[in-house]
Structure 1
Amino acid sequence: MSEKAKRGGTLGRAPIGYTNTLQRRDGHDSRSVQIDPIRGPLIHRTFELFATDRYNYEQLSDLMLKHGLSRTSHPDQPPRSIGTTGIARLLTCRYYLGIVTYTGTERPGQHPPLITRQQFDNAQAIIARRQASSQRRSRLDHYLKGTLYCEKCLHAGSPTRLLSYTESTGRSGHRFPYFYCAQRGPQPRHRQYIPAKYAEQHVTQIWKSIQLTSSYRALLQRTLQHFRSEAVLRRPGRLYLTEDTETRKTMNQTIFSRIYLPTQDAQHA
């Protein structure tokens, strides 16, 4: 098998878009890989559509199913999409460049390519950019993270249910930041959330309404990096409004162990 791979031959079954053929020549079996006349052009079309940067893996899988790109299935079964995993594997498969890989070494294959190097490189650039964007989103931060808890979970007997923070992006490109309760289950509190701006307003109102004791004022003064006079600390609501987000975070974590917020059901938002 290693000699066949070194010559650019395909070991095993060729990926979707190709067909393994067997011919009898001079009394000997001759195996080769040819472009599938139906699926081959669909692989090329998949790379073209992905290059527009308008489709995610799921959308592209569903769209290509309508064009006829499906998993191999029993004739009596309806065709199925290749799925997001199949699309991800397809878009990173170097075999479509006319290359075979054996023990980590690439060699020119005996099979014809389905795409150009430019198409493949464009797809890798889009994938890399999306992965980098996803990693940035996974590190989203907010000065209220780690302080807010779900009020409905408190009443349901789970007082330690911390609210998580994320941001979603609508079709118009507008970002919607919100805190949500990750508790899952049959209870109505499933996927409870509160928009970030309402959470910020709620916490601000708390600061406006409280009066700190002398011991808490002293604690806050020691915690804050810059000096705050006694007169300023006697009006914590005004102080909170005038500070930057990092100082607000410090103030919240110093004075409050938990802040419970009312959330709403995402299904009725």
Structure 2
Amino acid sequence: MVLIKFVKRYFAYIRVSTDKQGERGVSLQEQRDIIQRYASHKNLEVSRWFVEMETASKIGRPVFNEMLALLKAGRAAGVVIHKVDRGARNFRDWAEIGDLHDLGIEVHFATESLDLNTLGGMLSADLQAVMSVHYSRNLREETKKGYYGRLKQGLCPRPAPLGYLNNGEGKTKTIDPIQGPIVKQGFELYATGRYTLTQMTDVLYEIGLRTRETPKKSGGLKVSRNTIAGMLSNPFYIGALHVKKADRTFAGIHEPLVSKQLFDRVQAVKSGRYVRPLRNHQFLFSRLICCAVCGRSLVAETQKGHLYYRCHRSHNPPSALKGEQIEKRFAEIFDRLRLTSEEEKLIDLMLERMRERVRERAQQILKAEQLKLESTQQRLERLTDAYLDGLVEKEELEKKKTALTLERREIERVIAGIQSDGWSDMVKWNKIVERIKTAYLLYETGSYEEKRQMVKEVVSNRIAAGKNLEITIRSPFDEIVKRSACRFGCPLPGRGRGFWEKLFNDLVIPAQKGMASGDSSCA
């Protein structure tokens, strides 16, 4: 009589938490060897191996779920797992393993003597599972604590973004001397509003931006559209560390690559809040004059050899101006801005006096900023004391500390600017004086762009009402235009030295209008 021996087939499950651990193979191979020795000792035949490289702290492991489905379908008599924490580090997955036992499916742990057929064995297994879950939670908390600890120090615990270099754990990211300027140029190009994200991928590739080499991917490739979109939205480039998941921002200690003003312009372009100015034909006043009826820009056109500027929207009366009419009007304005040699010398003298006043004012501002800096530092110290005394919650402490740190950095930036460059408004006043001295010359002999810029800086509210041109001259150019009807040799009373002294005094007053940096826009 021949005896037929039925061999039960079992699954084997091995797991590591990360791809890196799995690629090294040490942990996986050790688990495989131990399970094979256990199966040989127990006369179990392993018909299939399930290998997974996923954390067991979260539910939803695909390989683990596939194995459970096959076991419940009767494809194997049971499963052999290296140890409890390889099978589950959360209570739901541990309950799934318990369900297998309740269904009569064998569950073996190769390195732990756990008999799930007894109450004592089940209790021991449950305790092992609880310890595994606790270990996972504690590890997560410690990791999170270290992560936020680095952020509070101003260090980025993640890999450096494009344009920066990794200098080792616990060290500040520094600007990449090769890729950094290219990334900055990318911000500047996108801020013009002339490029889409798709176009930016080609443009940045042409000027040298490349992907970084990683253990999984080779470098030197074109940067993807999604990566560029993330790069342009990353506040890391202005010196801030933002945790998107927690919606928290920390002040970084790394050197910013772009200014906040440029970063904000890029965000406006991305969100559609910035409209790029339309390209113009080479007509000097095209889109510089607005229709009084509808507010739209007048567009240049030629008819029978004559140049006209018209509003193309139908309304009564129509807004249309002859090119000669506009040119004559502006020529008269800029001609009155022409200075005599005596006036230029007088302006230089007034400017030097203004510089002296500015230096005195800069010292006053410097002292005030230094007092503000001391006050901010004291507020930081009081905030820390309040936290230690239990008067402030930890979350509120971090929020206020970040705000005060950023405030302190801004004050330090202002102080550094005053110490290195004097008073920043001096740059603006120098520009105004330079424009006063060169306005006529630039309008007469400048390029197309320079002439248009002078029109914008000198004249505002350029309105076409029917066939009439209504304009408002900006300050201080309006006073200069009116200063004298006979400036060559016969200045009117009060229009000589006293006039220029009053004009320069007005420039020093912070509340004065000055030369507007912007321009009234037309639809």
Please, what TM-score do these two structures have when normalized by structure 1? 0.43
Higher normalized contact order (CA 8 Å, seq sep 6+, divided by chain length): 1
Point out the structure with max Rg over C-alpha.
2
TM-score, normalising length: structure 2: 0.23
More strand by share: 1
